[in-house]
Amino acid sequence: MEELVSLRGIIKHFPGVIANDNVSFTLRKGEIHALLGENGAGKTTLMNILYGLYRPDIGEIYVEGRKVEINSPKDAITLGIGMVHQNFKLIPSHTVLENIILGLKKSGLVIKSRKIGEEIKKLAESYGWRINPNAYVWQLTAGEKQQVELLKILYRDAKILILDEPTSVLTPQECRILLQALRRMAKEGKGIIFITHKLDEVFAISDRVTVMRKGRVLVTKETSETNMSELAQYMVGRPVIFTIEKKESRPSGEAITIKNLKAFNDKGVLALKDVNLKVMKNEIVGIIGVTGNGQQELVEVIAGLRKASGGSLIVDGVNIINSSPEKIIELGIAYIPPEPLRYGIAPNLTVLDNLFMKAYRYKPYSNGVIVNWKKIYNKAEELIREFQIVPENPYAKARSLSGGNLQRLILARELSGLIGEKIPRLIVAAYPTKGLDVGATEFVHKTLIEYSRKGSGILFVSEDIEEALMISDRVAVMHDGKIVRVFRPGEVDIDKIGLMMAGVEIAFK
């Protein structure tokens, strides 16, 4: 079969990480090729290279058998490559037609709106879509916006389509329409690369599948010759045995009880459908699941940063649902957020400011009006020593700290009991080791275990199954806004966990 694209030996470094490590990938004419892997596996980087957004350090790109250099998306478009990004790149205040012809050379000086409008309409109808070319983009639903993005590419006669997690914003119905249209495009001889981390989609749509993990391609197979559990295993990797000293937990009293929790995500889709979970004091409960199944919404609702649409959070017999973040902090609920640089750290402020951005308003650091900076400075020095934060200068700007030190800073702020000098009753830790090196990861693990044995309840969200199994006392698998199953590490083998994460129902004896 004719090869549309061939990427050979692609290597791409970013400061401190290898995003693509000697990756090869081919796309055939008329096929839908799923590119599967967890977040950070290097899928998007590889496709951004093909689309000209990045240049590979080493490696060759062939399009229809010819060796090419792709220096910009403009080059890619000329070669017939089009990409639909996860976040749409449309201009909301312009019409569909204007968005589609934007940057198009052949439109000339005078825009023949009526003629182009007819063409767009016809093109859309051939895929079963109903798009009004004169509608404004802000009036469209997410699914329609995606159709416009695709039309924009198809109108430029693209032969190679890249879709980056296209279903993440769609409702199930919109999904079905998209998959039907993609199949029609493949039949017309276009090649489609479908980036995803959802196993069921691979089987629903693709002809071939390539699995990536940690920057490498592990396998490329005909979809009909593989099955879910095999792919899950590739995606997650073999269990790596790390041992960590962990005393038996002695759960004592409830830290928090989550009942029938429901909440919407930023796109207005119900992301938490019905979450039920109990976290005890002296216990670490790990939450695992493929990213985007409601983990982020769950931690945000507990921290008071996202409104719940239903359910309850019970602390000491009181329902604290939708309390202000301030109130929740005062209850002793600590929160280690994902993406610390966006949510957990003010990079332009000092280490001292960041350490005390919650505690400054409480005694003994403030009398209600004036902040006692001397007391804060002394305590900050103490915390910097205890949590081994480098540099040791409380007035260093937070942005000068490495990722590991930023996480130590957050741990110091959240765990050290600055508020009322007691330890937190609940620590919500969302991906606290993501992107950290081995030493920093170990520090985070040890610290969390230490606090759980001192009496805190810990909710530990991770993308890494082995990590979660290693440090948790109980593990909850999350899929599609629900807790699918709760078990103790060792009770369920890792293949089955992978399947549960993918939403496959498994019968247990």
Partner 1 sequence: MAKTIIMPHSVKIKRRLHISRKLSILTTFSTLVLAFGVSGIFFAMIGLNPLDVYSYMVGVYTSPTLLLKALERAIPIGLAALGLSIAFRMNFWNIGAEGQMYMGMFASTGIVLLHAYYDLIPDYLVLLLMILASFVTGGLWCGLPAFLKAKMRVNEILTTLMMNYVAMYFVDFLIYGPWRDPKGYGFPLSIPFPEYAKLTMIFGEFAYSGLLLLCIAVALAVVILRYTKLGFELKIVGEGIDIARYAGIRITKVITLGGILSGGIAGLGGLAIVSGIIGRLRPRASPGYGYTAIIVILLSALNPWLVVPVSIFFGGIFVAGDILQATLKIPGAAVEMHQALIFLFIVVGEFLKRYKITITREVVR
Report if residue 169 touches partner 1, rule: CB under 8 A.
Answer: no
Amino acid, res. 85: H
Other Cβ atoms less than 10 A from the Cβ of 267: the count is 10
Write out the H or E segment, with its range, that includes residue 412. helix 403-415
Q: How far is the CB of 371 from partner 1 (least distance, A)?
A: 6
Report if residue 58 touches partner 1, rule: CB under 8 A.
Answer: no
Question: Using the rule CB under 8 A, which residue among 6, 24, 257, 366 binds partner 1?
Answer: 366
Question: Using the rule CB under 8 A, which residue among 136, 264, 360, 377 binds partner 1?
Answer: 360
Cα angle for residues 325, 477, 18 (degrees, 5° grid): 85
Cα-based distances in Å from 472 to 195, 284, 466: 31, 5, 10
Q: Are 481 and 287 in contact (CB under 8 A)?
A: no
- Long-range contacts of residues 179-186, Cβ cutoff 8 Å, at least 24 apart: 179/204, 179/205, 180/127, 180/128, 181/127, 181/128, 181/129, 181/147, 181/150, 182/32, 183/32, 184/126, 184/127, 184/128, 185/127, 185/154, 185/161, 186/30, 186/31, 186/32
- The position carrying tokens 């009909």 is 224
Q: For the CA atoms of the chain, what is the radius of gyration?
A: 25
- Total chain residues near partner 1 (CB under 8 A): 30
Report if residue 281 touches partner 1, rule: CB under 8 A.
Answer: no
Question: Using the rule CB under 8 A, which residue among 281, 358, 474, 496 binds partner 1?
Answer: 358
**Listed ranges 24-32, 129-137, 328-336, 475-483: which one lies at the site for partner 1 (CB under 8 A):** 328-336
Residues 298-327 close enough to bind partner 1 by CB under 8 A:
303-305, 324-326
CA-wise closest residue to 431 among 307, 289, 225, 274: 289
Closer by beta carbon to partner 1, 109 or else 370: 370
- The position carrying tokens 């790390």 is 242
Closer by beta carbon to partner 1, 374 or else 509: 374
Closer by beta carbon to partner 1, 113 or else 372: 372
Report if residue 329 touches partner 1, rule: CB under 8 A.
Answer: yes
Question: Using the rule CB under 8 A, which residue among 129, 194, 335, 460 binds partner 1?
Answer: 335
Q: How far is the CB of 370 from partner 1 (least distance, A)?
A: 5
Report if residue 342 touches partner 1, rule: CB under 8 A.
Answer: yes
Q: How far apart are CA 470 and CA 491, in angstroms?
A: 13
Q: How far is the CB of 313 from partner 1 (least distance, A)?
A: 16
Hey, what are 487's tokens?
A: 């078990």
**Listed ranges 221-229, 337-345, 378-386, 432-440: which one lies at the site for partner 1 (CB under 8 A):** 337-345
Tell me if residue 258 falls in helix, strand or coil: strand
CA-wise closest residue to 202 among 503, 506, 463: 503
Q: How far is CA 77 from the centre of its chain?
A: 28
Identify the DSSP state of 239: -
Report if residue 357 touches partner 1, rule: CB under 8 A.
Answer: yes
Q: How far is the CB of 324 from partner 1 (least distance, A)?
A: 7
Closer by beta carbon to partner 1, 51 or else 129: 51
Q: How far is the CB of 305 from partner 1 (least distance, A)?
A: 6
Report if residue 411 touches partner 1, rule: CB under 8 A.
Answer: no
Q: How far is the CB of 129 from partner 1 (least distance, A)?
A: 34
Closer by beta carbon to partner 1, 142 or else 331: 331
Closer by beta carbon to partner 1, 71 or else 141: 71
Report if residue 173 touches partner 1, rule: CB under 8 A.
Answer: no
Other Cβ atoms less than 10 A from the Cβ of 351: the count is 26
Q: How far apart are CA 360 and CA 150, in angstroms?
A: 51
**Residue 134 phi, psi (nearest 5):** -100, 5
Cα angle for residues 19, 265, 318 (degrees, 5° grid): 120
Report if residue 219 touches partner 1, rule: CB under 8 A.
Answer: no
Question: Using the rule CB under 8 A, which residue among 370, 439, 490, 508 binds partner 1?
Answer: 370
Hey, what are 208's tokens?
A: 């071939």
Cα-based distances in Å from 5 to 76, 104, 389: 12, 24, 48
Q: How far is the CB of 356 from partner 1 (least distance, A)?
A: 8
Report if residue 62 touches partner 1, rule: CB under 8 A.
Answer: no
Closer by beta carbon to partner 1, 71 or else 309: 71
| Residues engaged in binding partner 1 (CB under 8 A) | 69, 71, 303-305, 324-326, 328-329, 335, 337, 342-346, 348-349, 353, 357-358, 360-361, 366, 368-371, 373
